Amino acid sequence: MAIKSLPVPANKSDQRYRLELYLKRGAAYSVLGILTVLSLYPLVVMVLNSFKSNAEIDLNPSGLPQKITVENYVSILGGPANLLGNFWNSVLVSTISTILAVFLAALAAFAFAKYRFNGRNFIFAMLLATTMVPGEITIPPLYLLFAKIDWLNTYQVQIVPSIVSVFGLFMIRQYMLTIPNSLLEAARMDGANHWKIFWLIVLPISTPVLGAFTILHFLSIWNSYLWPLLMANKSDVTPLVVVLPTLTDSQTGFTPIWGSIMAGSVLSVLPIVVVFVFFQNKFMSSVVLGAVKE
Protein backbone atom coordinates (compact mmCIF):
# COMPACT_ATOMS: atom_id res chain seq x y z
CA MET A 1 0.00 0.00 0.00
CA ALA A 2 1.53 3.28 -1.10
CA ILE A 3 1.89 6.09 1.36
CA LYS A 4 0.14 9.23 0.20
CA SER A 5 2.25 12.35 0.32
CA LEU A 6 1.02 15.79 1.23
CA PRO A 7 -0.38 17.79 -1.68
CA VAL A 8 2.13 20.10 -3.24
CA PRO A 9 1.04 23.75 -3.13
CA ALA A 10 -0.18 24.88 -6.50
CA ASN A 11 1.39 28.32 -6.32
CA LYS A 12 3.46 30.60 -4.17
CA SER A 13 0.43 31.96 -2.33
CA ASP A 14 -0.36 28.46 -1.04
CA GLN A 15 3.26 28.02 0.08
CA ARG A 16 3.14 31.34 1.89
CA TYR A 17 -0.12 30.39 3.58
CA ARG A 18 1.31 27.09 4.84
CA LEU A 19 4.46 28.83 6.05
CA GLU A 20 2.40 31.39 7.98
CA LEU A 21 0.31 28.58 9.44
CA TYR A 22 3.42 26.73 10.66
CA LEU A 23 4.87 29.91 12.13
CA LYS A 24 1.62 30.66 14.00
CA ARG A 25 1.45 27.13 15.34
CA GLY A 26 5.09 27.25 16.39
CA ALA A 27 4.58 30.57 18.18
CA ALA A 28 1.46 29.27 19.94
CA TYR A 29 3.19 26.08 21.07
CA SER A 30 6.21 28.08 22.25
CA VAL A 31 4.06 30.39 24.36
CA LEU A 32 2.11 27.45 25.80
CA GLY A 33 5.37 25.64 26.56
CA ILE A 34 6.77 28.66 28.39
CA LEU A 35 3.57 29.08 30.40
CA THR A 36 3.62 25.37 31.26
CA VAL A 37 7.19 25.59 32.53
CA LEU A 38 6.38 28.69 34.60
CA SER A 39 3.33 26.96 36.08
CA LEU A 40 5.12 23.74 36.94
CA TYR A 41 8.33 25.34 38.24
CA PRO A 42 6.99 26.16 41.76
CA LEU A 43 5.60 22.63 42.11
CA VAL A 44 8.89 21.08 41.03
CA VAL A 45 10.85 23.26 43.46
CA MET A 46 8.42 22.31 46.24
CA VAL A 47 8.91 18.59 45.62
CA LEU A 48 12.71 18.92 45.36
CA ASN A 49 12.96 20.94 48.57
CA SER A 50 10.86 18.39 50.43
CA PHE A 51 13.76 15.94 49.99
CA LYS A 52 16.40 18.39 51.25
CA SER A 53 17.55 19.22 54.76
CA ASN A 54 16.83 22.69 56.11
CA ALA A 55 20.50 23.62 55.85
CA GLU A 56 20.64 22.61 52.19
CA ILE A 57 17.45 24.54 51.40
CA ASP A 58 19.11 27.73 52.70
CA LEU A 59 22.15 27.15 50.47
CA ASN A 60 20.45 25.53 47.47
CA PRO A 61 16.75 26.53 47.36
CA SER A 62 16.07 25.88 43.66
CA GLY A 63 18.49 23.19 42.54
CA LEU A 64 18.53 19.42 42.70
CA PRO A 65 19.09 17.91 46.16
CA GLN A 66 22.73 17.06 46.77
CA LYS A 67 21.71 14.50 49.38
CA ILE A 68 18.19 13.06 49.29
CA THR A 69 16.55 12.69 52.68
CA VAL A 70 13.07 11.64 53.81
CA GLU A 71 13.39 13.13 57.29
CA ASN A 72 10.91 15.85 56.43
CA TYR A 73 8.20 13.32 55.59
CA VAL A 74 9.03 11.29 58.69
CA SER A 75 8.69 14.46 60.75
CA ILE A 76 5.27 15.44 59.43
CA LEU A 77 3.83 11.92 59.41
CA GLY A 78 4.82 10.83 62.87
CA GLY A 79 7.64 12.93 64.21
CA PRO A 80 7.67 16.28 66.00
CA ALA A 81 5.44 18.03 63.45
CA ASN A 82 2.93 15.14 63.10
CA LEU A 83 0.56 16.67 60.55
CA LEU A 84 -1.23 13.41 59.79
CA GLY A 85 -4.15 14.30 62.06
CA ASN A 86 -4.49 17.73 60.44
CA PHE A 87 -4.38 16.09 57.03
CA TRP A 88 -7.32 13.84 57.90
CA ASN A 89 -9.16 16.87 59.29
CA SER A 90 -8.84 18.52 55.87
CA VAL A 91 -9.96 15.33 54.10
CA LEU A 92 -12.98 14.91 56.38
CA VAL A 93 -14.16 18.51 56.16
CA SER A 94 -13.57 18.87 52.42
CA THR A 95 -15.17 15.54 51.50
CA ILE A 96 -18.33 15.94 53.60
CA SER A 97 -18.75 19.58 52.59
CA THR A 98 -18.35 18.75 48.90
CA ILE A 99 -20.83 15.86 48.95
CA LEU A 100 -23.50 17.90 50.74
CA ALA A 101 -22.86 21.05 48.69
CA VAL A 102 -23.14 19.22 45.35
CA PHE A 103 -26.33 17.42 46.41
CA LEU A 104 -28.06 20.53 47.79
CA ALA A 105 -26.98 22.72 44.87
CA ALA A 106 -28.30 20.12 42.42
CA LEU A 107 -31.63 19.94 44.24
CA ALA A 108 -32.04 23.71 44.31
CA ALA A 109 -30.92 24.06 40.69
CA PHE A 110 -33.46 21.47 39.59
CA ALA A 111 -36.22 23.38 41.35
CA PHE A 112 -35.25 26.75 39.86
CA ALA A 113 -34.68 25.32 36.38
CA LYS A 114 -37.68 23.03 35.90
CA TYR A 115 -40.46 24.20 38.23
CA ARG A 116 -42.70 27.24 38.16
CA PHE A 117 -43.62 28.88 41.47
CA ASN A 118 -44.42 32.36 42.71
CA GLY A 119 -41.39 34.55 43.22
CA ARG A 120 -39.00 32.16 41.52
CA ASN A 121 -37.08 34.79 39.58
CA PHE A 122 -37.06 37.23 42.49
CA ILE A 123 -35.72 34.62 44.94
CA PHE A 124 -33.07 33.55 42.46
CA ALA A 125 -32.03 37.17 41.92
CA MET A 126 -31.76 37.74 45.68
CA LEU A 127 -29.61 34.65 46.03
CA LEU A 128 -27.29 35.87 43.30
CA ALA A 129 -27.11 39.27 45.01
CA THR A 130 -25.62 37.63 48.10
CA THR A 131 -22.53 36.70 46.09
CA MET A 132 -21.67 40.41 45.88
CA VAL A 133 -21.33 40.66 49.66
CA PRO A 134 -17.69 40.14 50.73
CA GLY A 135 -17.30 37.16 53.02
CA GLU A 136 -15.16 39.18 55.44
CA ILE A 137 -18.20 41.32 56.32
CA THR A 138 -20.18 38.31 57.55
CA ILE A 139 -17.38 36.82 59.68
CA PRO A 140 -17.93 38.90 62.89
CA PRO A 141 -21.69 38.17 63.25
CA LEU A 142 -21.16 34.53 62.30
CA TYR A 143 -18.39 34.23 64.87
CA LEU A 144 -20.72 35.54 67.58
CA LEU A 145 -23.50 33.22 66.40
CA PHE A 146 -21.35 30.09 66.47
CA ALA A 147 -19.83 31.10 69.79
CA LYS A 148 -23.31 31.30 71.34
CA ILE A 149 -24.30 27.85 70.08
CA ASP A 150 -20.91 26.43 71.14
CA TRP A 151 -19.77 25.47 67.67
CA LEU A 152 -16.31 27.01 67.76
CA ASN A 153 -13.43 24.56 67.35
CA THR A 154 -15.67 21.85 65.91
CA TYR A 155 -16.04 20.10 62.57
CA GLN A 156 -19.57 21.37 62.00
CA VAL A 157 -18.48 25.02 62.05
CA GLN A 158 -16.22 24.23 59.09
CA ILE A 159 -18.77 22.11 57.21
CA VAL A 160 -22.27 23.54 57.69
CA PRO A 161 -21.65 27.14 56.49
CA SER A 162 -20.05 25.85 53.29
CA ILE A 163 -22.68 23.37 52.11
CA VAL A 164 -24.92 26.07 50.62
CA SER A 165 -23.27 27.43 47.48
CA VAL A 166 -25.05 30.07 45.42
CA PHE A 167 -22.32 29.79 42.81
CA GLY A 168 -23.00 26.06 42.52
CA LEU A 169 -26.74 26.73 42.29
CA PHE A 170 -26.22 29.17 39.43
CA MET A 171 -23.71 26.94 37.63
CA ILE A 172 -25.84 23.79 37.78
CA ARG A 173 -29.10 25.62 37.04
CA GLN A 174 -27.69 27.04 33.81
CA TYR A 175 -26.81 23.53 32.73
CA MET A 176 -30.16 22.02 33.73
CA LEU A 177 -31.99 24.65 31.68
CA THR A 178 -30.63 22.88 28.58
CA ILE A 179 -32.34 19.59 29.50
CA PRO A 180 -35.46 19.20 27.31
CA ASN A 181 -38.73 19.52 29.22
CA SER A 182 -40.23 16.91 26.93
CA LEU A 183 -37.90 14.32 28.45
CA LEU A 184 -39.19 15.08 31.93
CA GLU A 185 -42.79 15.08 30.74
CA ALA A 186 -42.29 11.64 29.18
CA ALA A 187 -40.95 10.37 32.52
CA ARG A 188 -43.98 11.77 34.34
CA MET A 189 -46.31 10.05 31.88
CA ASP A 190 -44.52 6.78 32.64
CA GLY A 191 -45.33 7.24 36.33
CA ALA A 192 -42.05 8.67 37.64
CA ASN A 193 -42.40 10.97 40.64
CA HIS A 194 -40.33 14.11 41.31
CA TRP A 195 -37.59 12.23 43.13
CA LYS A 196 -37.18 9.57 40.45
CA ILE A 197 -37.02 12.22 37.73
CA PHE A 198 -34.31 14.05 39.65
CA TRP A 199 -32.31 10.99 40.69
CA LEU A 200 -32.63 8.77 37.59
CA ILE A 201 -32.82 11.32 34.76
CA VAL A 202 -31.59 14.80 35.71
CA LEU A 203 -28.56 13.82 37.77
CA PRO A 204 -27.08 11.38 35.20
CA ILE A 205 -27.49 13.98 32.45
CA SER A 206 -25.90 16.66 34.64
CA THR A 207 -22.78 14.68 35.58
CA PRO A 208 -20.44 16.99 33.58
CA VAL A 209 -21.43 20.13 35.47
CA LEU A 210 -21.64 18.23 38.76
CA GLY A 211 -18.10 16.98 38.24
CA ALA A 212 -16.87 20.49 37.47
CA PHE A 213 -18.55 21.92 40.56
CA THR A 214 -17.18 19.07 42.67
CA ILE A 215 -13.62 20.00 41.72
CA LEU A 216 -14.15 23.72 42.29
CA HIS A 217 -15.87 23.29 45.65
CA PHE A 218 -13.36 20.74 46.92
CA LEU A 219 -10.48 23.06 45.99
CA SER A 220 -12.21 25.98 47.70
CA ILE A 221 -12.75 24.13 50.98
CA TRP A 222 -9.37 22.39 50.94
CA ASN A 223 -7.51 25.68 50.43
CA SER A 224 -9.70 27.68 52.82
CA TYR A 225 -7.50 29.48 55.34
CA LEU A 226 -9.20 32.47 56.97
CA TRP A 227 -12.40 30.73 58.09
CA PRO A 228 -10.84 27.73 59.87
CA LEU A 229 -8.10 29.99 61.25
CA LEU A 230 -10.72 32.03 63.11
CA MET A 231 -13.34 29.39 63.82
CA ALA A 232 -11.33 26.20 64.39
CA ASN A 233 -7.88 27.02 65.76
CA LYS A 234 -7.82 24.05 68.12
CA SER A 235 -5.22 21.50 67.00
CA ASP A 236 -7.67 18.58 67.14
CA VAL A 237 -9.87 20.01 64.38
CA THR A 238 -7.52 22.40 62.54
CA PRO A 239 -7.02 21.59 58.83
CA LEU A 240 -3.62 21.15 57.24
CA VAL A 241 -3.36 24.49 55.43
CA VAL A 242 -3.75 26.38 58.70
CA VAL A 243 -1.01 24.43 60.46
CA LEU A 244 1.64 24.58 57.73
CA PRO A 245 2.54 28.29 58.17
CA THR A 246 3.00 27.74 61.92
CA LEU A 247 5.81 25.20 61.57
CA THR A 248 8.80 26.94 63.14
CA ASP A 249 12.06 25.95 64.77
CA SER A 250 11.50 24.98 68.41
CA GLN A 251 14.77 26.64 69.44
CA THR A 252 14.32 30.05 67.86
CA GLY A 253 10.51 30.04 67.90
CA PHE A 254 10.12 32.00 64.65
CA THR A 255 12.41 30.45 62.01
CA PRO A 256 10.32 28.47 59.50
CA ILE A 257 11.16 24.80 59.07
CA TRP A 258 11.16 24.91 55.28
CA GLY A 259 11.82 21.22 54.80
CA SER A 260 8.77 20.18 56.82
CA ILE A 261 6.68 22.94 55.24
CA MET A 262 7.58 21.74 51.73
CA ALA A 263 6.82 18.13 52.64
CA GLY A 264 3.50 19.20 54.13
CA SER A 265 2.73 21.20 51.00
CA VAL A 266 3.34 18.10 48.88
CA LEU A 267 0.98 16.19 51.16
CA SER A 268 -1.65 18.89 50.79
CA VAL A 269 -1.43 18.86 46.99
CA LEU A 270 -1.96 15.11 46.58
CA PRO A 271 -5.75 15.05 47.32
CA ILE A 272 -6.27 17.95 44.90
CA VAL A 273 -4.49 16.05 42.15
CA VAL A 274 -6.48 12.89 42.91
CA VAL A 275 -9.82 14.75 42.79
CA PHE A 276 -8.93 16.48 39.52
CA VAL A 277 -7.74 13.27 37.87
CA PHE A 278 -10.92 11.48 38.95
CA PHE A 279 -13.27 14.19 37.67
CA GLN A 280 -11.20 15.69 34.83
CA ASN A 281 -13.27 14.10 32.04
CA LYS A 282 -16.51 15.53 33.40
CA PHE A 283 -14.83 18.87 34.06
CA MET A 284 -13.45 19.18 30.53
CA SER A 285 -16.70 18.01 28.94
CA SER A 286 -18.62 20.71 30.82
CA VAL A 287 -16.16 23.35 29.63
CA VAL A 288 -16.37 22.24 26.01
CA LEU A 289 -20.15 21.99 26.11
CA GLY A 290 -20.48 25.70 26.91
CA ALA A 291 -18.47 26.59 23.82
CA VAL A 292 -20.65 24.63 21.39
CA LYS A 293 -23.86 26.05 19.97
CA GLU A 294 -26.27 23.97 17.99
* C-alpha–C-alpha distance, residues 62 and 103, integer Å: 43
Within the chain, which residues score under 70 in pLDDT?
1-12, 79-81, 282-294
* C-alpha–C-alpha distance, residues 48 and 172, integer Å: 40
Supply φ then ψ for residue 137, to 5 degrees: -70, -35
pLDDT at 7: 53
Predicted TM-score of the model (pTM): 0.84
* C-alpha–C-alpha distance, residues 44 and 39, integer Å: 9
CB burial readout 94-117, b (16+ within 10 A) else e: bbbbbebbbeebbebbbbbbbeee
* C-alpha–C-alpha distance, residues 89 and 179, integer Å: 38
Contact partners, residue 284, CB within 8 Å, separation at least 6: none
Domain ranges of the chain: 71-289
pLDDT at 81: 67
Query: Which CATH architecture does the domain made up of 71-289 adopt?
Result: Orthogonal Bundle (1.10)
